[in-house]
């Protein structure tokens, strides 16, 4: 052993003691034991594998799901003078070869990989030649089909056990139910592992659900009052940009972050937020993984997440410095139906999966008992149009068939053509007057997609061609011309995708093999939504207690700070008298709306609304035609 763990902690991280179960986990790894570590967000998961890897001779293999997370950790290690390499997508073969040579001969301590890299023979072969001292599987819930971010490529992680059987393995996650934890242990072939679960309780975070019909106004209110860093989570790229613009227009410095931005755009936006040049980051759910910003004071979910695991992990990015913080979920009566439509209405059942598989075989004219190892090009939009299929549900069927090895789907499948008009409307009309041959397709795009002047917008070129009554090649040609003439910024992605069939055509028999598993997974997704909605709609049980109970952690006391606990406190009659006195004084000066009263008083909003309700019932105040309150 080169150094003892405490010396390494002090030398590289400047801490003089471990927290939680870190030391017990590290000692187990140094004793060559497998470990499953279930630690809360901010619980110091990365130190649990980085320190024992530095304490031992050899290199640590780290599997991580997100490129941003990988690069963040590698850069952090390099800044400490620790040699680490990231092997992610988009690197040419020669460079991959050189990087792997560096791992073999360059005294590197960490090799970070995306799980997809394990499918490359050269990567597996070189790892087998390395002196691997530890295998770390980060965000290990991705390996479980019951987990909230299941990624089929994560199932390949078990290959590392076969390649380097002598190395201990650690799996880490911040969100795992009992069934997910068991699945991780089974899939990774752990033998007598140490399973550590620290309390997921975040005592410094006040969780709340706020029902507001005007969510934008409430978002602005919350952001104006927050002095430190905030994150606003949304589900779509467009909404991220839209809300960031709205907040900037209302004197709240904001940026946005999503998967559609270039690497440079992401780096600029992230650095501005990390350096506190921008207060609010409006982002889709991938943002935050591996980003250690301790002073986030407020996390807002503007839309309902698809499961409590995602919600808890994202909300847990608040208050990592231990200071008081808030996690607020904004919702209204429309959101519940919207989340059901988005996540449940597109779950394919077994008859529909069989239908799509049958149509694919007929489309490619594959005879019964044949087709394995054959490759085909498919225009997805054209296929859906031919058979009048819902693209979203059909897309999910393709994913199911891919995950169950009926066929292998090319990575470009999920990418779409996107554009944004980079000129003014006036200049565009002048341009079209001179280029009348382009006008019809441009007008079709403008009629079909709102916001193309404000946002980078995904478009369906097949749909545009059909509406315009032209060939799809003409749409691509028009878009290229507009891009050349600086009318639009444009990223082209052909709708063709590649399918490699992996099994012979057996029709229903092919699907029956995994039909039970699909039914169970669909049922699990339905349960996830039901649990999420139950959390939102429950107003009797402490929010923290609800969340901890979901993860199998029983707690006796209430948090005392969530919206439900605060509402119970707000029923204090002495507090109500004080608020009613203040409301009376304010209304003596002028008539005011409930918003104005809330902004004028330093009391809990629910307590103010309860007091207003009491005053109305007692006839002390009334409401006029302008929705203003006045003294009776």
pLDDT in tens, 377-434: 888 888 988 899 988 899 899 989 988 889 988 755 555 688 899 988 889 999 999 9
Confidence of residue 1 (pLDDT cuts 50, 70, 90): very low
Contact, 563 vs 543, CB < 8 A?
yes
pLDDT the model gives residue 151: 78
Mean pLDDT to the nearest integer, 221-244: 92
Strand pairing class (621-623; 205-211): unpaired
pLDDT the model gives residue 570: 61
Mean pLDDT to the nearest integer, 590-611: 86
Confidence of residue 495 (pLDDT cuts 50, 70, 90): low
- DSSP 8-state symbol, 620: S
What is the residue whose two structure tokens read 């991780």? Answer: 184
The H or E element containing residue 359 is helix 350-363
Q: Class of 205-340+538-550 per CATH?
A: alpha beta
In order, the DSSP letters of 227-280 are -SEEEEE-SSHHHHHHHHHHHHHTT--EEEE-TTS-HHHHHHHHHHHHTTSSSE
Contact, 406 vs 501, CB < 8 A?
yes
Structure tokens, 441: 């397709």
pLDDT the model gives residue 196: 93
Structure tokens, 549: 């109970």
pLDDT the model gives residue 290: 60
Contact, 21 vs 162, CB < 8 A?
no
Contact, 83 vs 304, CB < 8 A?
no
- Non-local (6+) Cβ contacts of 37 within 8 A are 21, 25, 45, 48, 170, 171, 172, 173, 196
What is the residue whose two structure tokens read 């639009």? Answer: 488
Q: Does the pLDDT at position 145 exceed 80?
A: no
Confidence of residue 507 (pLDDT cuts 50, 70, 90): very high
pLDDT over 90, % of the chain: 53
Using CA atoms, how far residue 309 sits from 20, 173, 201, 266, 420, in Å, is 21, 11, 14, 25, 35
Mean pLDDT to the nearest integer, 308-319: 92
Burial (CB count <10 Å: 0-12, 13-18, 19+), residue 590: exposed
Mean pLDDT to the nearest integer, 589-614: 86
pLDDT the model gives residue 343: 87
Question: What distance in Å separates the CA atoms of residue 215 and residue 272, rounded to the nearest whole number?
Answer: 26
Q: Which of 232-246, 375-389, 452-466, 477-491 has the lowest mean pLDDT?
A: 452-466
Question: What distance in Å separates the CA atoms of residue 494 and residue 393, rounded to the nearest whole number?
Answer: 21
What's the pLDDT tens digit per position in 508-537? 999 999 999 999 989 999 999 999 999 999
Confidence of residue 21 (pLDDT cuts 50, 70, 90): very high
What CATH number does the domain located at 570-631 have? 1.10.10.10
Q: In 64-159, which ranges are E strands?
A: 84-87, 110-113, 132-137
pLDDT the model gives residue 607: 81
Q: Does the pLDDT at position 56 exceed 90?
A: yes
Mean pLDDT to the nearest integer, 326-341: 91
Q: Does the pLDDT at position 166 exceed 70?
A: yes
pLDDT over 70, % of the chain: 96
Structure tokens, 360: 């694919």
Q: Treating both helix axes as pointing N-terminal to C-terminal, what angle do 436-448 and 461-468 enclose, rounded to 10 degrees?
A: 120
Strand pairing class (194-197; 325-331): unpaired
What's the pLDDT tens digit per position in 456-468? 888 888 888 888 8
pLDDT the model gives residue 614: 86
Residue 171 bridge partners (DSSP) = 36, 137
Residue-averaged pLDDT of the chain: 89
Q: Does the pLDDT at position 469 exceed 50?
A: yes
Strand order in the sheet with 325-331: 205-211, 325-331, 296-301, 229-233, 280-283, 254-257
Mean pLDDT to the nearest integer, 42-67: 91
Confidence of residue 571 (pLDDT cuts 50, 70, 90): low
What CATH number does the domain located at 5-197 have? 3.40.50.300
Strand pairing class (417-421; 488-491): antiparallel
Question: What distance in Å separates the CA atoms of residue 546 and residue 558, rounded to the nearest whole number?
Answer: 10
559 versus 67: the higher-pLDDT residue is 559
Which residue, 84, 92, 133, 142, is CA-closest to 113? 84
What CATH number does the domain located at 344-414+497-524 have? 1.10.10
The H or E element containing residue 20 is none
pLDDT the model gives residue 352: 97
Task: Please provide the distance, in angstroms rounded to a whole number, between the alpha carbons at the two ends of the chain.
Answer: 80
Confidence of residue 285 (pLDDT cuts 50, 70, 90): confident
pLDDT the model gives residue 135: 96
570 versus 253: the higher-pLDDT residue is 253
pLDDT the model gives residue 453: 86
What is the residue whose two structure tokens read 């060559």? Answer: 32
Structure tokens, 338: 């919207």
Mean pLDDT to the nearest integer, 569-594: 85
Using CA atoms, how far residue 115 sits from 42, 401, 621, in Å, is 23, 20, 63
Residue 420 bridge partners (DSSP) = 489
Question: What distance in Å separates the CA atoms of residue 591 and residue 593, rounded to the nearest whole number?
Answer: 7
């Amino acid at each position: 052993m080169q150094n003892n763990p405490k010396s390494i902690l002090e030398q590289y991280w400047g801490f003089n003691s471990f927290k939680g179960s870190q030391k017990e986990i590290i000692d187990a790894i140094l004793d060559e034991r497998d470990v499953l570590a279930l630690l809360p967000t901010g619980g110091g998961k990365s130190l649990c594998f980085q320190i024992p890897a530095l304490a031992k001779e050899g290199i640590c293999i780290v599997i991580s799901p997100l490129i941003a997370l990988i690069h963040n950790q590698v850069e952090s290690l390099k800044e400490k003078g620790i040699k680490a390499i990231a092997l992610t997508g988009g690197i040419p073969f020669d460079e991959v070869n050189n990087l792997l040579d560096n791992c073999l001969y360059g005294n590197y301590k960490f090799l970070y990989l995306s799980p997809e890299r394990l499918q490359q023979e050269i990567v597996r072969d070189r790892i087998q030649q390395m002196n691997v001292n530890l295998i770390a599987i980060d965000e290990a819930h991705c390996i479980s089909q019951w987990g909230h971010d299941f990624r089929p490529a994560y199932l390949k992680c078990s290959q590392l056990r076969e390649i380097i059987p002598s190395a201990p393995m650690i799996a880490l996650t911040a969100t795992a139910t009992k069934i997910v934890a068991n699945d991780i242990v089974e899939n990774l072939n752990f033998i007598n592992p140490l399973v550590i679960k620290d309390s997921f309780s975040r005592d410094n975070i006040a969780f709340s659900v706020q029902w507001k019909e005007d969510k934008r106004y409430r978002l602005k209110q919350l952001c104006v009052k927050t002095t430190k860093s905030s994150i606003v989570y949304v589900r779509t790229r467009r909404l991220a940009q839209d809300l960031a613009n709205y907040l900037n227009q209302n004197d709240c410095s904001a940026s946005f972050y999503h998967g559609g931005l270039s690497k440079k755009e992401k780096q600029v936006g992230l650095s501005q937020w990390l350096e506190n040049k921008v207060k609010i980051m409006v982002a889709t759910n991938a943002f935050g993984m591996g980003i250690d910003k301790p002073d986030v004071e407020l996390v807002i979910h503007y839309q309902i997440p698809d499961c409590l695991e995602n919600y808890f992990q994202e909300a847990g990015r608040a208050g990592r410095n231990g200071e008081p913080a808030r996690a607020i979920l904004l919702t209204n009566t429309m959101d519940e139906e919207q989340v059901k439509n988005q996540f449940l209405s597109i779950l394919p059942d077994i008859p529909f999966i069989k239908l799509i598989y049958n149509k694919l075989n007929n489309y490619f004219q594959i005879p019964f008992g044949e087709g394995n190892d054959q490759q085909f090009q498919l225009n997805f939009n054209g296929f859906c149009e031919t058979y009048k299929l819902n693209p979203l549900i059909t897309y999910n069927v393709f994913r199911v068939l891919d995950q169950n090895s009926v066929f292998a789907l090319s990575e470009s499948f999920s990418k779409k053509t996107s554009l944004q008009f980079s000129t003014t409307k006036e200049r565009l009309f002048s341009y079209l007057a001179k280029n009348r041959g382009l006008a019809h397709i441009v007008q079709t795009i403008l009629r079909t997609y709102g916001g193309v002047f404000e946002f980078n917008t995904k478009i369906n070129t097949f749909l545009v061609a059909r509406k315009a009554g032209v060939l799809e090649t003409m749409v691509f040609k028009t878009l290229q011309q507009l891009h050349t003439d600086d009318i639009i910024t444009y990223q082209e992605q052909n709708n063709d995708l590649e399918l490699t069939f992996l099994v012979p055509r057996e029709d229903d028999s092919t699907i029956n093999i995994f039909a039970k598993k699909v039914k169970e997974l669909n049922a699990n997704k339905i349960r996830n939504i039901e649990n999420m909605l139950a959390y939102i709609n429950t107003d009797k049980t402490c929010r923290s207690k609800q969340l901890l109970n979901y993860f199998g952690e029983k707690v006796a006391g209430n948090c005392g700070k969530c919206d439900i606990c605060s509402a119970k406190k707000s029923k204090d009659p002495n507090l109500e008298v004080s608020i009613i006195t203040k409301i009376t004084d304010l209304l003596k000066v002028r008539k005011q709306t409930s918003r104005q009263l809330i902004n004028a008083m330093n009391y809990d909003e629910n307590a103010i609304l309860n007091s207003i309700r009491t005053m109305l019932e007692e006839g002390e105040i009334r409401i006029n035609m302008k929705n203003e309150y006045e003294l009776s």
